[in-house]
Structure 1
Amino acid sequence: MTLPAVLGIDIGTSSVKALLIDAEARVVGVGRGAYPTAQPAPGLSEQDPEDWKSAAIVAVRAALAGAEARVEAISFSGHMSAPVLLGEDGAALAACHTIADQRSVGEIALIDAALTADIAARTGNFPAAHLTLPKLLWWKRHHPEIFARTRFVLMPKDYLRLWMTGDIAADPTDSGNSMLFDASRRDWAEDLAKRAGIGAARLPRLREPGEIAGALLPGPAEALGLAAGLPVVTGAADMAAMLLGSGVDLAGDVAVTIGTSANVIAGLSRVEPSLIGAMNVEPGLAPHELYAIGSHFGGGGALGWLAGLLSGAERPDPAVLAPVSLTAEGIALGSEGLIFLPYLSGGGSPSFDPAARGAFLGLAMKHGSAHMLRAIVEGVTCDLGASLDLFAGLAPRRRILFSGGGSRIAFWPQLLADMSGLPVVNASASDASALGAALIAGVGIGWFGDSFSAARALVAPKGPAFEPRPTEATAELRRRFERAKIARRPDLLAGQPFTSA
C-alpha cells in the first residue's frame, strides 16, 4: 500500500539530498546525489548550476526506490549567498560562486560609507565577501558583458525550482543575505539596489516559503520519476529549513550547530544595532520572524584536522576519533593545562579577524591525542560563549538545541550546558535541512494545519536535557581562554608573555 508523502530536496554544498516524509513527519525514503565544487585557485569556490539538476535526479530516484510512497508535493532548501546569474532564456550565464568564495573581497571597499551605513541599518548586515552584493559587484566589474546580460539573480534552490516549474522567484529567507532586502518590510530594498549599481529590475519577485509556486512540468517529472502536475512549493534557505527541521523555537531556543564551522542562532524581535557587524541577521520562515547567526569558523573543522593528523588520510572518517573521545571524556575539565585556540580558518563572530590563527598553548609531555581532542572541544565551546553572551544580553533564552557532528561527542552537550548556564538538548534530525524542506512542502499543501509551528512541534527533540552545572572551574576555564586569545595573532605577540595557569 502506498502512503501519501511529501518530498524535500536540499541543495547542499557538496550534494543534493532528497527526503520523503509522511503526514506524521516520519522519514520514509532518502536519497543523495553528489556533485563537484571547483576550486580553480586559493580562495575560489564555484559550482555548475546544471550539476544540481543531475544530482537532484539521482537523489530523488534513490529516495523513491526505497519507499512505497505517493508524492503529493515538493519543496526545497539550498545553500545561501550563491548567486546564479540568469539570462533572458532562463539559463545560467556562468558558474555559481558559493558562500566560501572570497574573490569579491576587493569589491567591499567600492561600496561607499553612506550606502554601507544604510545597508547595515536596514538589513542588519555589513558588506562581506561571503554575502551576495559583493559577488554581484565582482561580476559587474570583472565581466561586465555577463552582468549586462543578467536578467535575474536567483539562489540555488530557486534555479532548481525554475527548471521544475518555469517559475522565476525568490523568497525572503534566501534574500536576506543579498544585503538588498529590507528586513523590517520583508521586501526588496529597491533603492539600495539602485544605489549599489545592481538595478532593482534584476531582483525577482518574492514568494513566501510555503507558497505554491507552480506545477511540476512534464520533462522534469519524467527525469525525476514523479507525476507531472504535482504542486511545487517555494522553499527556503538551508539555514531556515534547518531550524524548522531541527525543531528550533526561535522565540526561546538557541541553536548551536557544529559543522565545519560552528553556528549560534537565536530569534530577534527586530534588527538589533548591537549585533550589526558581529553576526548576520536573516528573515525567518514566518512573516516578521528574524534570527541572527553567529558564525564561528573554528568548529568541527578543527576536529577534522585532528582526525586527518591521526589517520594520515586527506579526507578522514570522523569515526577515527571515537576511541580518542572516549578517553578524552575521562580527562578533567581544563585538559590538564592545555588550551586550544580554534582559529585554523581565521576568527569569526563576534569580532571577525581573518588574520587570527589557531594554537595549542601549554603543551607538555603528558599531553596526548585525547588531551588535544578535549582541548579542541573546550576551546570551541569557550569561543561560542561570545555569541551566547550577546544573545543573553538581549533576551532570556530557554535552552540550547545542539546539532551537527559535535553532538556525537558524548561529553560535549554537558560541557556546553555547564559553560552556557542553559539546558542543552540534542536535536534528533540528521538531515535537518532536507527534513525542513519536506515540512515546508507539507505546510504548502495544507498538512500540519497550514502551520510551521505545528510542523516544528512534530520534529521537536524529545530527549532529556543536560542541565547546567556551573562551577568555579568552568568560569576559570573561560577566563584562561580569554587571556590566551592574544596568541591568535602571532603578528601582535612580540613582547607579550603567556602563562597557561
Structure 2
Amino acid sequence: MYLGLDLGTSGVKAMLIDDGQAIIGSASAALEVSRPHPGCSEQDPADWVRAAEEAVNGLKAEHPGALAAVRGIGLSGQMHGATLLDQEDAVLRPCILWNDTRSFRQAAALDGDPQFRALTGNIVFPGFTAPKLAWVRENEPEIFARVRWVLLPKDYLRLWLTGEHISEMSDSAGTSWLDTGKRRWSESLLAATHLDERQMPALVEGTERAGTLRAELARGWGMADGVVVAGGAGDNAASACGMGTVGEGQAFVSLGTSGVLFAANATYLPNPESAVHAFCHALPDTWHQMGVILSATDALNWHSGITGKSAADLTAELGETLKAPGPVTFLPYLSGERTPHNDAAIRGVFAGLGHESSRLVLTQAVLEGVAFAIRDSLEALRAAGTRLERVTAIGGGSRSRYWLKSIGTALNLAVDLPADGDFGAAFGAARLGLIATTGADPVATCTAPATAETIMPEVSLVPAYEDAYQRYRRLYPAIKGATM
C-alpha cells in the first residue's frame, strides 16, 4: 500500500492506493485561512500537522489493515508558502501563503534584477517565496534574523514525518531561488535576498527517497518501520502525475479556485515576459509550463454569493446548448491576475451592461470571462514555444458541460473528460510514493486515465468567440490603473 498526502489551502487529503494503483480509500480534514490585513493570507503550520493526523486517522478508522501495509508515502502541497523556522525547528511566525500579495513591492524590486528571470525562467511574482522573505526582512527584522530554515508547506509536513529538511524540484521552482534549468539552488539569487544555501532544504527529485517515517508515527498508525517518504511535488505537478500529464504535448486545464493551464515539456522552455510559469516537473529531466489565473471557480462562486443562487443552479440556467458570446464582457480579476499581466492591483469588471442585462446574461459573461482568461494562458504557452492539440479538464468547474464547451470553443481545442475517479494531487502523491519505494518506471507508472468523453469546439461559434476574445483583450489596458 502507498499513502498520498496532499496539503491544500482549504484542507489536507490522505489517499491509499495498492500496488495496482487502485484507490482503497481517502479521508480529509479542513483548514482555515487567516487574513489579518487586506492582501494577507496566512496559516499556522501546527494546523497542517493537526489536519494531516486527522486525515490519516480517518483512514486508520476505515481501513486499518490497508494503512498498516503502507510501504511508501508521497507528499503534495500548496506552493510558494514561506514557513520560517529557527535553529530548534520552532515556527517563527504564521506561514505566508501563495495568495498573499503583501510583498508586491519587494517582488517588483527583485524582478528588476535581471538575474532572477535569467536563472529561474520566471517573473518574480508577489506570491512566490523570495519576495516574502524580503518583506519579512524589511518589516519583521527580528524574525528574519532568527531564520535558520525556509521550508515550503509540504516540506514542513515532511519535517514532522521524517525529521529531515528536504524539498524537491517542482515545488522549489516556485520560490524564485532555484536555477530551474540546472535544477539546483542559486547562491546568487539567495544572496540577493540576504540568505544562503545553508538555510535551504536539501534537494531531490520528486520520485526519489526523501527520508523515512519516524518510528513513533509508524507505531501510532500501525505501520512497519522504514516506510519511505518520497520527494513528492507541488500541487499542480502532483496533479499532473495523477493525470498522467508527464509527456511532451500533454496538458490539462484545472478549474478550481484558481485556474491552471498546465503543459508537460521534455525540455526547459522559459518565457518570463509572457508571465507563464516554467517549473521543474516532479519527474527527473522533465519540466512544465503553467498559465495561472487567480479566479476561476472563485469568480462563479463570487457571482453566486451576489445573486443568492448556487453555482450549479446558475450554470444550469444556461442549458446545454452553447450560445454566442453576448454584449457583456467580464474580466475575472477579483484578486488581481498572474498570466499574462502579473498585476496584483487590477480588479475585475463587467463591461457592456444595459437595462436588459439579466442574471442569465451575467452568468454567461462570467463563464466566458474565465474561458478567455484561460485563452490568455494558451497564448502565453504558444509564445513560449508550446503547441497543444487537446487538453484534459479537471477540477470542480469541469462538472459544467456548458463551461467546458465555452472553454473548448475559446481555445479552439478538444477538451477530454477523464473517466470517473479521483486523479488529483493526492493520487499523484501516492504514485510518487510508489515509485520512490519500488523503483518503478515513472512514465510507465504515471499513466493517463481513460477518456470518458471528448467535447469538441463549436465550430460555427469559433469566429464569434474570437471576436469576443479580442474585445476582452482590449479591456485590460483600458481599465488598468482605474480600478484601485
* TM-score, normalization by structure 2: 0.91
Q: 1:168 to 1:336 in 2, by over 3 A?
A: closer
1:499 equivalent in structure 2: none
Match of 1:174 among 171, 174, 180: 171
Tell me, yes or no, if structure 1 residue 354 matches structure 2 residue 344. yes
Is the partner of 1:206 in helix, strand or coil?
strand
Q: Following the alignment from structure 1 to structure 2, what is the Cα–Cα distance between the partners of residues 421 and 249?
A: 23
AA in 2 matched with 1:34: A
Contact map agreement 1:340 1:376 (CA 8 A) in 2: yes
Q: 1:138 to 1:337 in 2, by over 3 A?
A: closer
Q: Following the alignment from structure 2 to structure 1, what is the Cα–Cα distance between the partners of residues 404 and 355?
A: 29
2:32 equivalent in structure 1: 36
Tell me, yes or no, if structure 1 residue 436 matches structure 2 residue 428. yes
Match of 1:404 among 388, 392, 395: 395
Q: Following the alignment from structure 1 to structure 2, what is the Cα–Cα distance between the partners of residues 76 and 36?
A: 20
Tell me, yes or no, if structure 1 residue 210 matches structure 2 residue 207. yes
Q: Following the alignment from structure 1 to structure 2, what is the Cα–Cα distance between the partners of residues 433 and 97?
A: 21
1:316 equivalent in structure 2: none
Q: Following the alignment from structure 2 to structure 1, what is the Cα–Cα distance between the partners of residues 466 and 20?
A: 43
CA drift of 1:123 comes to 0.7
AA in 1 matched with 2:129: T
Match of 2:188 among 182, 187, 191: 191
Once the two structures are superposed, residues 180-221 of structure 1 have per-residue CA deviations (whole angstroms, 9 ceiling, x without a partner) of 111111111122212432122212211221222222212223
Q: 1:87 to 1:66 in 2, by over 3 A?
A: same
AA in 2 matched with 1:357: R
Q: 1:274 to 1:72 in 2, by over 3 A?
A: closer
Q: 1:482 to 1:286 in 2, by over 3 A?
A: same
Match of 1:465 among 432, 454, 457: 454
AA in 2 matched with 1:124: G
Contact map agreement 2:322 2:406 (CA 8 A) in 1: no
Is the partner of 2:401 in helix, strand or coil?
coil
Once the two structures are superposed, residues 92-120 of structure 1 have per-residue CA deviations (whole angstroms, 9 ceiling, x without a partner) of 2221111111222232354384xx21110
CA drift of 1:431 comes to 5.9
CA drift of 1:387 comes to 1.7
Contact map agreement 1:209 1:233 (CA 8 A) in 2: yes
Tell me, yes or no, if structure 1 residue 343 matches structure 2 residue 339. no
Contact map agreement 2:320 2:402 (CA 8 A) in 1: no
AA in 2 matched with 1:122: L
AA in 2 matched with 1:98: L
Once the two structures are superposed, residues 312-334 of structure 1 have per-residue CA deviations (whole angstroms, 9 ceiling, x without a partner) of 7xxxxxxx232332330356523
1:422 equivalent in structure 2: 413
Structure 1 stretch 82-91 or stretch 462-471: which is displaced more? 462-471
Q: Following the alignment from structure 1 to structure 2, what is the Cα–Cα distance between the partners of residues 381 and 491?
A: 20
Once the two structures are superposed, residues 302-356 of structure 1 have per-residue CA deviations (whole angstroms, 9 ceiling, x without a partner) of 11012212327xxxxxxx2323323303565235433322222223311233343
Contact map agreement 2:17 2:24 (CA 8 A) in 1: yes
AA in 2 matched with 1:437: A
AA in 1 matched with 2:287: L
Once the two structures are superposed, residues 256-285 of structure 1 have per-residue CA deviations (whole angstroms, 9 ceiling, x without a partner) of 111122111113454545444512221101
Once the two structures are superposed, residues 22-64 of structure 1 have per-residue CA deviations (whole angstroms, 9 ceiling, x without a partner) of 1222211111112322111111111111111111110001122
1:450 equivalent in structure 2: 440
Is the partner of 2:379 in helix, strand or coil?
helix
AA in 2 matched with 1:28: I
Is the partner of 1:125 in helix, strand or coil?
coil
* TM-score, normalization by structure 1: 0.88
Q: 1:158 to 1:333 in 2, by over 3 A?
A: same
AA in 1 matched with 2:404: P
Is the partner of 2:457 in helix, strand or coil?
coil
Q: Following the alignment from structure 1 to structure 2, what is the Cα–Cα distance between the partners of residues 160 and 178?
A: 18
Q: 1:482 to 1:442 in 2, by over 3 A?
A: same
Once the two structures are superposed, residues 394-434 of structure 1 have per-residue CA deviations (whole angstroms, 9 ceiling, x without a partner) of 24323101111211001222332222222211245546011
Is the partner of 1:136 in helix, strand or coil?
helix
CA drift of 1:291 comes to 1.2
Q: 1:135 to 1:334 in 2, by over 3 A?
A: same
Q: Following the alignment from structure 2 to structure 1, what is the Cα–Cα distance between the partners of residues 111 and 412?
A: 42
Is the partner of 2:238 in helix, strand or coil?
helix
AA in 2 matched with 1:211: E
Tell me, yes or no, if structure 1 residue 237 matches structure 2 residue 229. no
Unaligned runs of 5+ in 2: none
1:333 equivalent in structure 2: 323
Structure 1 stretch 218-227 or stretch 74-83: which is displaced more? 218-227
Structure 1 stretch 345-354 or stretch 203-212: which is displaced more? 345-354
Structure 1 stretch 408-417 or stretch 56-65: which is displaced more? 408-417
1:389 equivalent in structure 2: 379
Contact map agreement 1:487 1:493 (CA 8 A) in 2: no
The size of the alignment, in residue pairs, is: 477
RMSD: 2.4
Q: Following the alignment from structure 1 to structure 2, what is the Cα–Cα distance between the partners of residues 429 and 250?
A: 21
1:497 equivalent in structure 2: none
CA drift of 1:297 comes to 2.2
Tell me, yes or no, if structure 1 residue 20 matches structure 2 residue 16. yes
* Identity of matched residues, %: 32
Q: Following the alignment from structure 1 to structure 2, what is the Cα–Cα distance between the partners of residues 330 and 200?
A: 54
Tell me, yes or no, if structure 1 residue 380 matches structure 2 residue 355. no
CA drift of 1:21 comes to 0.9
Is the partner of 2:6 in helix, strand or coil?
strand
Q: 1:348 to 1:103 in 2, by over 3 A?
A: closer
CA drift of 1:14 comes to 1.8
Contact map agreement 1:242 1:434 (CA 8 A) in 2: yes
Q: 1:189 to 1:482 in 2, by over 3 A?
A: same
CA drift of 1:370 comes to 2.9
Is the partner of 2:275 in helix, strand or coil?
coil
Q: Following the alignment from structure 1 to structure 2, what is the Cα–Cα distance between the partners of residues 461 and 366?
A: 44
Contact map agreement 2:123 2:272 (CA 8 A) in 1: no
Q: 1:112 to 1:451 in 2, by over 3 A?
A: closer
Q: Give 1:102-117 correspondences, 5 Å limit.
A: 102-111=101-110, 113=112, 116-117=113-114
Contact map agreement 1:357 1:488 (CA 8 A) in 2: no
Is the partner of 1:178 in helix, strand or coil?
coil
Q: 1:176 to 1:40 in 2, by over 3 A?
A: same
Q: 1:44 to 1:269 in 2, by over 3 A?
A: same
